[in-house]
Amino acid sequence: MGYAALREGAGTLEVGRDVVRVSGPDAESYLQGQTSQDITGLAPGASAWALVLQPQGKLDVFVRVSRTGGDGFLLDSDAGMGAALTARLTRFKLRTKVDIEPLDWRAVAVRGPRAGPVPASTGDDLTVAVPFAWNGLSGYDLLGPNPAPPVDATVVEASAYEAVRVEAGFPVHGRELDERTIPAEAGLVEASVSFTKGCYTGQELVARIDSRGSNVPRHLRGLILSGPAGPGARLYRTPEGDGHVAASVVEEGEGDRQAAGPGPTGPKEVGRLTSVAWSPRLGWVALGYVARAVDLGSALVSRDSEGEFEARVEPLPLT
């Protein structure tokens, strides 16, 4: 319930977000060297998506950075990532005048074309409003100890929000994102990386892949399904002329994930689903990683314990 409000009006629900405060005289310069985004231009009340990366360039945490004052910032991330973010930022702050504090806060999301302008924040320790925008899905989030949903928004179910999240291709930790994720695979670079700022931890891999045209072995794609496949379902190519599957497999190793030829045990994967939702507008929709060699518009087959379903590969956002 609530899909129409999210698509045509204003819908609201509580979502899982962890919030970490970073403050102190060196907060700006420290975050500038630890995140992929140029935060020096953020005015008080402004926000930007950013990546906190491993030194090797793979993802630690996908965050939103909001400036609350001259020396104060809030970093919010998916639920369950706050401890990892705090530990990662603390690890590199040697002799830096910066305080890193996880907050026991909650988050209320407001989404839809009639969500209205982002309300003015009431203060660092009360409720902070931060904008949200991703592939046409827009609105704002209210962060604080006890944020209240706006009275003029429709309370929606989590399943409705999941449908619009999948349609927009907004990735989350534990599904589309983990410690092995290369940012270019997940479509994070354009919204979260500045190529004009100074150096930051993990920059080398991001810059090298961008210079090669983001030519990574796999990409996060949208999929339209013929039935309710589950997250984790394997994707196979269907050759012309028969009903069997045969394709390349996407192997996950310590290095780059490469496509390999068919093995002796039969058909191999070209990808896997990460999130699946029911969309009243499009039917069963999904996000999944698909091998680079699979073209947009390709018809694949998904297989898992729920059965076998058709899966058409589409660009994001799903429309």
pLDDT single digits (tens) 139-188: 999 999 999 999 999 999 999 999 999 999 999 999 999 999 999 999 99
Q: What is the pLDDT of residues 242-298, one digit of tens each?
A: 333 333 333 333 333 334 344 445 567 899 999 999 999 999 999 999 999 999 999
Residue type, 79: A
Q: What is the pLDDT of residues 5-61, one digit of tens each?
A: 999 999 999 999 999 999 999 999 999 999 999 999 999 999 999 999 999 999 999
- Work out the average pLDDT over 123-140: 88
What's residue 120's pLDDT?
82
What's residue 267's pLDDT?
64
In this model, does residue 127 exceed pLDDT 80? yes
pLDDT band at 123 (very low <50, low <70, confident <90, very high): low
Evaluate if pTM is beyond 0.85: yes
What's residue 51's pLDDT?
98
Residues of the chain with CATH 2.40.30.110: 217-314
Sequence-separated (6 or more) residues with CB below 8 Å from residue 266: 246
What's residue 206's pLDDT?
96
**Residues 91, 52 contacting (CB under 8 angstroms):** no
If one counts every other C-beta atom within 10 angstroms of the C-beta of residue 175, the result is 18
Superfamily holding 217-314? Aminomethyltransferase beta-barrel domains (2.40.30.110)
In this model, does residue 312 exceed pLDDT 90? yes
As a whole number, the mean pLDDT across the chain is 90
Query: Going by DSSP bridges, is the β-strand pair 234-237/137-144 parallel, antiparallel, or unpaired?
Result: unpaired
> Given 1.10.10.10, 3.40.50.300, 3.30.1360.120, 3.40.50.620, which CATH number is that of 3-168?
3.30.1360.120
pLDDT band at 212 (very low <50, low <70, confident <90, very high): confident
In this model, does residue 70 exceed pLDDT 70? yes
Residues of the chain with CATH 3.30.1360.120: 3-168
What's residue 248's pLDDT?
34
What's residue 214's pLDDT?
78
